[in-house]
Structure 1
Amino acid sequence: MPAVGRGLLSLLSLLSLLSRGCAAARPAPACPRDCGCTQEGVVDCGGIDLKEFPLLLPELTNHLSLQNNQIEEIFPEELARLHRLETLNLQNNRLTSKGLPEEAFEHLENLNYLYLANNKLTVAPKFLPNTLISADFAANYLTKIYGLTFGQKPNLRSVYLHNNKLSDAGLPDNMFNGSDNVEILIMSSNFLKYVPKNLPPALYKLHLKNNKLEKIPKGAFNELTGLRELYLQNNYLTNEGMDNETFWKLSGLEYLDLSSNNLSQIPSGLPRNIVLLHLEKNAIKMIGRDVLTQIKNLEYLLLHNNKLKARGIHPLAFHGLKKLHTLHLYNNMLERIPSGLPRRVKTLMILHNQISEINRNDFATTYFLEELNLSYNKLESPQIHREAFRKLRQLKSLDLSGNNLHTVPFGFPKNLQILKLKENEISVIPKGTLSGMTKLRELYLSNNKLKVNSIYSRAWEELISLQSLDMAGNQLTSIPPGLPESLE
C-alpha cells in the first residue's frame, strides 16, 4: 500500500479511537444543586426551597423526593425523561391543577408510589399510570375524580383522599373499575352524603369519617367481606338511613365506629366478629334484647354520651357476650344500675349519670369486675347497700368521687388497690369502713369535710400497703395520727 494510503488509514483509526474515548469520558448528568443523589438512582431534593421543578435530573432516577418545597408547576417533558421512576414525592408544595398537565404522568411506565398531599390541586389528574401501588392526594382542594384517575390499576393497594372538598357529584360511578385489589381507602373529611358506589372488594380499611353522610345505600357494603375496619364517625347517619342488612355481609369486620351521628338506637344486623364497637355521642335511648347478642366476639362496647335510661336497657341485652370486658355507659341518663350487666365485664364506666342508689344485687353477677367508676352521680351513703360489692373479689379500682356521700360507706371489697372518694361531703370515717383493706395502695379523700376528730382513731391500722393518701381541701387542723408507715 502507498505511504499516503497507510497514513490516511492511521489518521482515521486515531480519530475513531479519540471519538470513542470522548464518548466514554462524557460525564453523567450532574446532581441538581443542594440535592442528594446516589448511584442507586435516589435523588433527594426535599426541603431546599425549590421554586421550580429541577431540570436535567439523572435519567436513571428511580426515587425522586421533592417534598416540602414551593413548586407550582410540573414540566411533562422533564418527567417523561425519567422512564425508570418508581417513587415520586411532591408532598407539601404549591402545585395547582393548572400546573399539573393532564399528560404529566403518561410516560412513567414504572411509577409505583405517587405522593401529592398538601398541595393546591382542585381536580385529580385524568390519567395515572396503571403500575401505581399507592396514591396520596390528601389535604388538597379536590372536587373531582375521573374514571381513569384510579381505575384500571390492578396493582393499586392504597388511596388517600382525606381532607379535600369531594362531593358525591365529583365521583365517577366506577371510580375503582379494574382496580379490585385496593385494600386501604381513606376519604375522611370531605362533603360526601352517600357511601360511594362500587367500592373495591379487597378493602380491609375504609375511612369515611367527618363527611356529611346521611344514608348508606342498599348493598353498599355487600361485596366487602374482607373489610376489617370501618370508620363512619362524625356524620349525619340516622337509623332511617340504613337497614337491617347494611352491615350484615361484613363478615370480617372487627372495628366499627358509628360515634357522633344521629342514631336513636343501635343498628340491627351487626356482624358477629366485631371486637370494638363505637356508638358514643349519638341519641340512643334503648338497647333491645337481640340487637347485640349475635356479636359473639365483642370485647369493647362504647355507649357513653347517649340518652340511655336503665329501663331502656333490656335485662338480656348483653346475654351471651362472653368476651365483652369493657363497657362505657358514662354521660347518659341512668337513674339506677342497669339489670343484666355483662357477666365477664372487667371495666365498667358509669360515671356522670343520675344513679341515686346501689342495691344488694346490682353487681351480684359481675364477678370479674376490676375497675368500676361510679363518680359524679347522686349517691348518698345510706343508699349504698353494705353488701352491694360482696361479689367483686377481683375489683382493683373503685371511684365514688363527686357524689353526695356524708360518710365513708361500708362494704368495700378487700382486694381494692385504688379507692377514690374525693369531692363528696364526707365528714366521718366510721370504725370498720377501711378494715381488712390490706392491699389498698391509693386513697383519695380530697375536697371533703373531714376533721381530725371525725376520723376513727385506728382507721388506718390495716392499710399496710398504702403508698398515697390525698386529704387536701378538708378541715384538718393537724396531721391525723396513726398514718401507715408505708406512705410515700
Structure 2
Amino acid sequence: MPGSRLLLLLLLLSGLRPIPAMEEDPTFPHLGESSQPPPRACPSRCSCPRADTVDCAGLDLRVFPDNITRATQHLSLQNNQLQELPYNELSRLRGLRTLNLHHNVLSSEGLPDEAFESLTELEHFYVANNKLSVAPQFLPRSIRVVDLAANQVMEIFPLTFGEKPALRSVYLHNNQLANTGLPLDAFRGSEAVATLSLSSNRLRYLPPSLPPSLERLHLQNNFISKVPRGALGRHRHLRELYLQHNKLTDSGVDNSTFSKLHSLEYLDLSHNQLGSVPAGLPGNLAVLHLGRNRIRQVEGARLRGARGLRYLLLQHNELGPSGLPAGALRPLRGLHTLHLYGNGLDRVPQALPRRLRALVLPHNRVAALGARDLAATPRLLELNLAYNLLTSARVHRRAFRRLRALRSLDLAGNQLTQLPSGLPVTLHSLRLQRNRLRALEPEPLAGLVQLREFSVAHNGLRVGDIGPGTWHELQALQVLDLSHNQLSFVPPDLPETLEELHLQGNRIGHIGSEAFLSTPRLRALFLRANRLHLTSISAEAFLGLPHLRVVDTAGNPEQVLVRLPPKTTRAPRAGGS
C-alpha cells in the first residue's frame, strides 16, 4: 500500500480528520503568520473609527497631521489651532468627501486654492469660525454644502459657488460681506441651491441674481433698506424669507416685492422701520412677523391676498385706538394666532376671525370688556390681556360667556378688585397676579374642575380674605401661587390634587402639624422670605407628604430646620390607580 494511503488509513482509524491541501489564495494567511489584518495607519492621537474616517478634533493641533491614508473620505480637524493647510498633504487626499475645519485660526493665505483642484470628490466643506478674509477662489463641482460662517470674509469669487450643479446649502452669516463683495454671477450654473444664509453682514440692499432655486434665504441683521424691483421675481420655490433687523421702510418695498413668491410660507420683517403692512402678500403665506416696526394702522386691503395666514405678529408697533379697524382682519379666515403685545389699543379689536385660537394683547390700554367684545371668537384657546387697565367694574359679567373652549386666561397686572364672574369651565390656567384683589370667594371659581394652574400672587391677600370653600371645586389644581401676599399662616383646606405651592414673600411665622393634611400629593413647597425661625415648622408638618422633594426656606430671619419624609420606593402618580 502506498505511503499516502497508509497515512490516510491510520488517521481514519484514530478518529482524526485529514487536513485538506491548501489552495493558492493570496488572501489566505501563510503558516506561521498571524490571521489578523495588519493595523491601519492612523495619525498620532487621532481616532479612525472606520477605514474611510479620520477624527482629529479637539486636540489643540498646530500642524496638519501626517500619516493620513489616501483612502480617507471624511476628515475632521475642527477645534484645533491650525493656521495653514499644506498643499501637498491636502491635495493627495483625492477621495475626500468631507473636510471639517470649524474653529481653527486659518487665514485665507493658509488655505491653498490649488489644493481644491485635486479634491474632485469633496461634498461637504466646513470652515466656520476661522479668520478667512476672502472665500476660496475655487471649489470643486462636486461640492454640496459649504459653511464659511463667522469669518471675516469680504469677497466672494465667481467660481467659489458658481458652476456647482450639486450645491445645496451655503452658509455665509457673521462675516463682513458688502454688496460689492458679492459678484452678480456668484451662483451662475448652480441651479440646486436651496439654503443661503447671508445674515449678519454689511449688505445694504437685497442682492440681485440669487439662485432661483432657493427655498430658505436668511438676510437678517444687515443694513438693507431696499429690495430692488424684480430682485425676488424668479424665486417661486422660496418658502422662508428672513429680513428682520434691517432698515426697511415703506419706500424700500413695493406691491410686487413679495407678490410672485407663490410658495412663501414664512416672512419675517420684524425690527425694521415699516409704517404699514406691505402690499402684495402671497396667498400661501402662513406666518407674517411684523413686530418692532412703526405701523400705526392695519389696512384690511393689504391682507386680502394673504388668505392662508395662520400667525400674524404685530407686537411693539404704534397701533393706537384706531390702529386695527373693525373687520380689518376678517379676510384672514384661517388665522390661528394674533400677537398685539405692546401697542396702544384701548379695546379688544372688533370682528376678529372666528377661527382665532390665540389672542395675545398684553401691555396695551384696554380698560373694559363688554358682553360682546369676545363673542366673535368662540374658538379661543388662549386669551392674554395682562398689563392693561381693566377694572372689575368694567368687566361685564358675561364677557367670557362665549369662550367655551378657552384653556388659558391671563389677566395679570390689571386693576381688578375681585375675581371675574362667568369664567369658562374649560380653563386650565388662570393668572391674576399683580391686581388689587380684596377677596377670594368660591362662587367665581365654581365649576372650574379642569383648572390646573392658578396664580393670585402680589395681591395683598390675607388668610381672612379667602372664603370658606374657595378651593372646593378645584379638583384638578396642581400649581397654586399665593406668593407675595400678606398671609400669616398656610391657608386651610387646600385642594387634594395640589403638587406645587408658592407661599414665598408672605408673613408666615409658624407651620403647624396639620398645615398640609389636605395636600398629600405635594411635591414642591416655596416658603422663601417669610418670618420663619429655627423651630417654626412642626416636626410632623411633612409626615403625610411622601412625594415632597423641594422645600425652599431661604431668606427667612433664621435658618429653618426642615425634615423631609422618608423617600418611598415608588411614588404613585397623581390620579393613578
The one-letter code matched in structure 2 to 1:94 is V
Rounded to whole Å, the distance in 2 between the matches of 1:308 and 1:57 is 63
* 1:416 corresponds to 2:427: yes
Q: After TM superposition, give the deviation of residue 129 of structure 1 in Å.
A: 1.1
Alignment correspondent of 1:327: 338
Q: After TM superposition, give the deviation of residue 34 of structure 1 in Å.
A: 1.8
Rounded to whole Å, the distance in 2 between the matches of 1:181 and 1:344 is 38
CA contact (8 A) 1:343 1:368 kept: yes
* 1:261 corresponds to 2:272: yes
* 1:402 corresponds to 2:397: no
CA contact (8 A) 1:76 1:105 kept: no
SS in 2 for 1:295: coil
CA contact (8 A) 1:310 1:338 kept: no
Q: Deviations over 1:82-124 (max 9, x none)?
A: 2222221122111111112332311222211111111111011
Q: After TM superposition, give the deviation of residue 483 of structure 1 in Å.
A: 4.3
The one-letter code matched in structure 1 to 2:388 is N
CA contact (8 A) 2:143 2:166 kept: yes
The one-letter code matched in structure 2 to 1:74 is L
CA contact (8 A) 2:367 2:394 kept: yes
Q: After TM superposition, give the deviation of residue 469 of structure 1 in Å.
A: 2.9
The one-letter code matched in structure 1 to 2:262 is S
Q: Deviations over 1:227-281 (max 9, x none)?
A: 1111111111111101011011111111111111111111111111111221111
CA contact (8 A) 2:335 2:356 kept: yes
Q: After TM superposition, give the deviation of residue 432 of structure 1 in Å.
A: 3.0
Measured at CA, do residues 34 and 472 of structure 1 come closer, stay the same or move farther in structure 2, by a change above 3 Å? closer
Q: Tell me which of 229, 243, 246 is aligned to 1:232.
A: 243
SS in 1 for 2:159: helix
The one-letter code matched in structure 1 to 2:253 is M
TM-score (norm 2): 0.76
Rounded to whole Å, the distance in 1 between the matches of 2:445 and 2:49 is 70
Alignment correspondent of 1:34: 45
Q: Write out aligned runs for 1:333-372 (5 A).
A: 333-372=344-383
Alignment correspondent of 1:451: 462
Alignment correspondent of 1:83: 94
CA contact (8 A) 2:249 2:273 kept: yes
Alignment correspondent of 1:117: 128
Q: Percent identity, aligned pairs only? A: 50
Measured at CA, do residues 262 and 30 of structure 1 come closer, stay the same or move farther in structure 2, by a change above 3 Å? same
Rounded to whole Å, the distance in 1 between the matches of 2:489 and 2:106 is 69
My pick for the range that moved more, 460-469 or 226-235, is 460-469
Q: Tell me which of 164, 176, 199 is aligned to 2:175.
A: 164
My pick for the range that moved more, 294-303 or 153-162, is 294-303
Alignment correspondent of 2:27: none
Q: Deviations over 1:320-365 (max 9, x none)?
A: 3232111111111111111122211111110111111111111011
Measured at CA, do residues 311 and 44 of structure 1 come closer, stay the same or move farther in structure 2, by a change above 3 Å? same
Rounded to whole Å, the distance in 1 between the matches of 2:215 and 2:498 is 51
Alignment correspondent of 1:21: none
* 1:387 corresponds to 2:398: yes
Q: After TM superposition, give the deviation of residue 70 of structure 1 in Å.
A: 1.3
* 1:173 corresponds to 2:184: yes
CA contact (8 A) 1:422 1:445 kept: yes
Alignment correspondent of 1:5: none
* 1:441 corresponds to 2:452: yes
Alignment correspondent of 1:284: 295
My pick for the range that moved more, 48-57 or 63-72, is 48-57
Q: After TM superposition, give the deviation of residue 224 of structure 1 in Å.
A: 0.8
Rounded to whole Å, the distance in 2 between the matches of 1:388 and 1:149 is 62
The one-letter code matched in structure 2 to 1:241 is G
Measured at CA, do residues 78 and 379 of structure 1 come closer, stay the same or move farther in structure 2, by a change above 3 Å? same
CA contact (8 A) 2:334 2:353 kept: no
TM-score (norm 1): 0.90
Q: Tell me which of 73, 76, 98 is aligned to 2:84.
A: 73
* 1:94 corresponds to 2:71: no
SS in 1 for 2:322: helix
Measured at CA, do residues 105 and 311 of structure 1 come closer, stay the same or move farther in structure 2, by a change above 3 Å? same
Rounded to whole Å, the distance in 1 between the matches of 2:474 and 2:411 is 19
Rounded to whole Å, the distance in 2 between the matches of 1:248 and 1:186 is 22
Rounded to whole Å, the distance in 1 between the matches of 2:217 and 2:297 is 28
Unaligned runs of 5+ in 1: 1-26
Q: After TM superposition, give the deviation of residue 393 of structure 1 in Å.
A: 0.8
Q: Deviations over 1:187-209 (max 9, x none)?
A: 11111111111111111111111
My pick for the range that moved more, 335-344 or 74-83, is 74-83
Rounded to whole Å, the distance in 2 between the matches of 1:463 and 1:50 is 63
Rounded to whole Å, the distance in 2 between the matches of 1:51 and 1:472 is 57
Unaligned runs of 5+ in 2: 1-37, 500-577
